[in-house]
Amino acid sequence: MSNTLPPIKVFAGTASRYLGESICKELGIELGKMNRERFADGEFEVSFEESIRGAEVYLVQSTFPNSDNLMELLLMIDAAKRASAASVNAVVPYFGWARQDRKDKPRVSIAAKLVADLMSTAGINRLVTMDLHADQIQGFFNVPVDHLYASSIFIPYIESLHLKDMVIASPDVGGAKRANSYAKYFDVPLVLCHKTRAKANVVEKMTVIGDVKDKNVVLIDDIVDTAGTITKAADLLLNYGATSVRALCSHAVMSDPATERVKNCGISEIIFTDSIPYIRENDKATILPVAKLFADTIRRIHNNQSISSQYLLK
């Protein structure tokens, strides 16, 4: 029996190919060759164009809308399993469908659990993801979940701004734990924006809890979809006397009319990771790469090393 570790092979889905290429560059390997063929009725098939027998396979694909991205990942997992890969690891920087993580009213689905079951049934041995919408989603899986945090990317950027009189804020009470971690790290006050919704993606009313007068505010959130909450919070904080408002948001879902809302509000800068490709023209947007974070994690997993040492916040 050989003690040699199996080779690493990284493949990327169509929507996350840019990220797969960047991860491979960090790892010093070539991105694996795949083919996706679409049929006339919209169905498609995926195939590996090289042998993966006995390899440690990493499949990079964020599952943002539309559903083709999720389906492509599931087919990649199934194909890798059937091609005798030693292990099949899903690298999902943005885990979609995560906002439906519990029954908040009668007769609704729990989509995050369903997606977890689909990935498990398809055959993953491990999930590597970042800034889940709810931490408890890790418990939906019966395989190891490496839950990374964008704080290791955002904190150095915040420090580079040298903001005076900084305050950390959450655009809603649900994000208070996440924002509080940043506030404790920087030893600055925490401010909360309390919102009520008329319906999904529609904010009815918002109030500020805490003092932001003459402060430079940094809003912390995980997902920006239509940008209704984050822009309303930014304008409200400025009305309460804030000197400036920036936003750190892990995943740039940015559904229309999000970009226009960001451009037209008082927010001075919105900082995303590239877990989801954001290609709209927006002078206020700053995109920070996640490839090194995921490459380091893949390398540590492969060498059976701890990954917790790279977390700045948890």
Q: What is the dihedral of CA 92, 105, 219, 112, to 10 degrees?
A: -10
**Residue 195: active-site member:** yes
Query: CB of 75 within 8 A of CB of 48?
Result: no
Q: CA-CA distance, 176 to 270, in Å (whole number)?
A: 19
The values of phi and psi at residue 193, to 5°, are -105, 120
Catalytic pick among 195, 215, 232, 263 = 195
The pair phi, psi for residue 161, each rounded to 5°, is -80, -20
Q: For 265-274, give one letter per residue: b (16+ CB within 10 A) or e.
A: bebebbbbbb
DSSP secondary-structure letter at 153?
A: H
Q: How far is CA 192 from CA 95, 151, 173, 199, in A?
A: 26, 19, 6, 21
Beta-carbon count within 10 A of 198 CB: 9
Sheet holding 244-252, edge to edge: 202-209, 190-199, 166-170, 216-224, 244-252, 269-273, 285-288
Cis peptide preceding 180, ω within 30 of 0: no
Contacting residues for 9 by C-beta, under 8 A, at least 6 apart: 29, 32, 50, 52, 55, 56, 57, 58, 85
- Looking at residue 5, the DSSP 8-state letter turns out to be P
Rg of the chain over Cα atoms, rounded to whole angstroms, equals 20
Question: What DSSP character marks residue 32?
Answer: P
Give the chain's length.
314
Residues assigned a catalytic role: 195
